[in-house]
Structure 1
Amino acid sequence: MINVSTTDGVGLIELDRPDRRNALDVSTCRELVDATARVRDEGARAVVVTGSGSSFCSGADFGEVYTDGFREALYTALHAVVDLPMPVVAAVNGPAIGAGTQLAIACDLRVAAPSAVFGLPTARLGLAVDPWTIERLVQVAGGGSARSLLLACAQLDVATAHARGLVDSLGERDDALALATDIATMAPLTLAYNKLAVNSYGRGASAAGTDLDAEFERCWDSEDIQEGRVARSEKRPPRFNGR
């Protein structure tokens, strides 16, 4: 089960399978895809992804991980998170193991509680993560962390993850929501362009499926840039409308 809501421009997607420590099965992966569509439709300008109870996501549900359809469902869900045009913050409230680490790095930013721990123990199970996961992990946390997680099946506690850049800031769900609330006041077109550019870095504009130069020009031709100028001259917070 996944709980979804949008309040004051902030979408909240909460994995809610506490009996399975929020492990991902096919059904939950499909619900996650639907949840991303819902927050988009509800006009969210920032999104928080988290888990109920004491775990963020304990990984793949071993009752289904070896079944037909699980891998496709998992990667469809992960890319649905990545493809959201607004920033997505992971509130990592506890262990994020295997697919949980993948979900955390599918988000743009990570706020982690003291109980958070990250791991990709695929080599202990005879499984493998796709090249996108490895590329994303290297981009977020560096090659050293990627090698440690993938080749030694190390687990990174929150302090180590923070020191290595896998975690952006330390805090609880409320801290992640506060960050998302602040992001929701920023210019949506600029944020969407920035996210697209960061995600396609090193692969060229074509890898993003759109023309980054056109998106760049769109920001400069928008009503929002005029609103930013006027708000600055009037010494008030800007009210961006994403146009």
Structure 2
Amino acid sequence: MIELSWHGRAAVLTLDRPDKHNALTGELCERIRTSVASVGEARAIVLAGNGRSFCSGADLDEVYTAEFRDSLYRMLHAVTDAPVPVVAAVHGAAIGAGTQLAIAADFRVAGPAARFAVPTARIGLAVDPWTIRRLALLAGNGTARRMLLACDQVDADTALACGLADRPGGLDEALDWAAGMTDLAPLTVGYSKRVLNEVFEPDLADDVAKDLDAAFEACWASDDFAEGRLSRTEKRSPVFRGR
């Protein structure tokens, strides 16, 4: 489900479920997390996907489970906390958890077919406060609102224009960019990354964090959450009632 290869001193982690558009399962999340931790000699990491999609999101057979949610966020934070630069080569769809994986990286290279979306409101789910803040920091508040409140998709040109993507190109361009980073002083790069993460994404005040976490959990415990899950089983459109 994941391939590890090397491009010089850059480790390349490739999601390999092309028949499922690289949808994330709990097992795949754990493999990504452990792979990031295992490439200690790498000076940079590239995330890529086989097939037409970068990552189509969470596997719908698991997305509603607490176990998957825990595995997903452990993986995302492992990517963000990696001490080396991480480049996501987004050549196709990055939907839901796929967008989360892309923004967990430090940089995104977007191909012409790249598209980003966080359509959780369509299925009664919610992403955590960290995801919302990081998306807004990268893409801007307006783009984040369109993606989260209206479930709009963002194409490659829009992503590049707003800062959600950093450079145009495919896997080759991502590999070349990462290779250039491997020649830089690793202690300096690691220090700079840590400061950027801590300055722009500091821990929230205890009362704010508590309130936001409670609201997040309330979404997952709601009748709308249950309706989203049931409607998928019954193969119909959900009817949400805001409770």
TM-score by length of 1: 0.82
> In structure 2, do the counterparts of structure 1 residues 84 and 202 end up closer, same or farther at CA, with 3 Å as the change threshold?
closer
Is 2:6 the partner of 1:6? Answer: yes
Which residue, 84, 87, 101 being the options, matches 1:86?
A: 84
Aligned residue identity for 1:35: S
Q: CA deviation at 1:37?
A: 1.4
Q: Is the 8 A contact 2:46 2:88 kept in 1?
A: yes
Find the aligned partners of 2:9 and 2:158 in 1 and give their Cα distance: 32
Alignment of 1:172-183 (within 5 A): 172-183=170-181
Aligned to 1:36: 36
Aligned to 1:17: 17
Q: CA deviation at 1:202?
A: 4.0
Q: CA deviation at 1:204?
A: 5.3
> In structure 2, do the counterparts of structure 1 residues 196 and 205 end up closer, same or farther at CA, with 3 Å as the change threshold?
farther
Deviation string for 1:87-119 (max 9, x for gaps)?
000000100000000000000000011000000
Aligned residue identity for 1:192: G
RMSD: 1.5
In structure 2, runs of 5+ residues without a counterpart are: 206-243
SS of aligned partner of 1:193: helix
Find the aligned partners of 1:49 and 1:123 in 2 and give their Cα distance: 27
Aligned to 1:194: 192
Find the aligned partners of 1:133 and 1:189 in 2 and give their Cα distance: 27
Alignment of 1:28-177 (within 5 A): 28-40=28-40, 43-177=41-175
Find the aligned partners of 1:31 and 1:100 in 2 and give their Cα distance: 15
Q: Is the 8 A contact 1:5 1:39 kept in 2?
A: no
Aligned residue identity for 2:195: A
Aligned residue identity for 2:131: T
TM-score by length of 2: 0.82
Find the aligned partners of 2:203 and 2:59 in 1 and give their Cα distance: 36
Deviation string for 1:203-236 (max 9, x for gaps)?
55999xxxxxxxxxxxxxxxxxxxxxxxxxxxxx
Aligned residue identity for 2:29: C
Aligned residue identity for 1:62: L
SS of aligned partner of 2:191: helix
Q: Is the 8 A contact 1:112 1:172 kept in 2?
A: yes
- Count of residues paired in the alignment: 205
Find the aligned partners of 2:106 and 2:76 in 1 and give their Cα distance: 12
Find the aligned partners of 2:196 and 2:126 in 1 and give their Cα distance: 25
SS of aligned partner of 1:200: helix
Aligned to 1:237: none
Find the aligned partners of 1:96 and 1:5 in 2 and give their Cα distance: 22
Find the aligned partners of 1:103 and 1:203 in 2 and give their Cα distance: 17
Find the aligned partners of 2:69 and 2:154 in 1 and give their Cα distance: 25
Aligned to 2:226: none
Q: Which contiguous aligned blocks of 4+ residues in structure 1 show a shift greater than 2 angstroms?
A: 202-207
In structure 1, runs of 5+ residues without a counterpart are: 208-243
The alignment-based identity, stated in percent, is 54
Aligned to 1:210: none
Find the aligned partners of 1:132 and 1:205 in 2 and give their Cα distance: 10
> In structure 2, do the counterparts of structure 1 residues 8 and 116 end up closer, same or farther at CA, with 3 Å as the change threshold?
same
Find the aligned partners of 1:203 and 1:158 in 2 and give their Cα distance: 25
Find the aligned partners of 2:91 and 2:165 in 1 and give their Cα distance: 12
SS of aligned partner of 1:201: helix
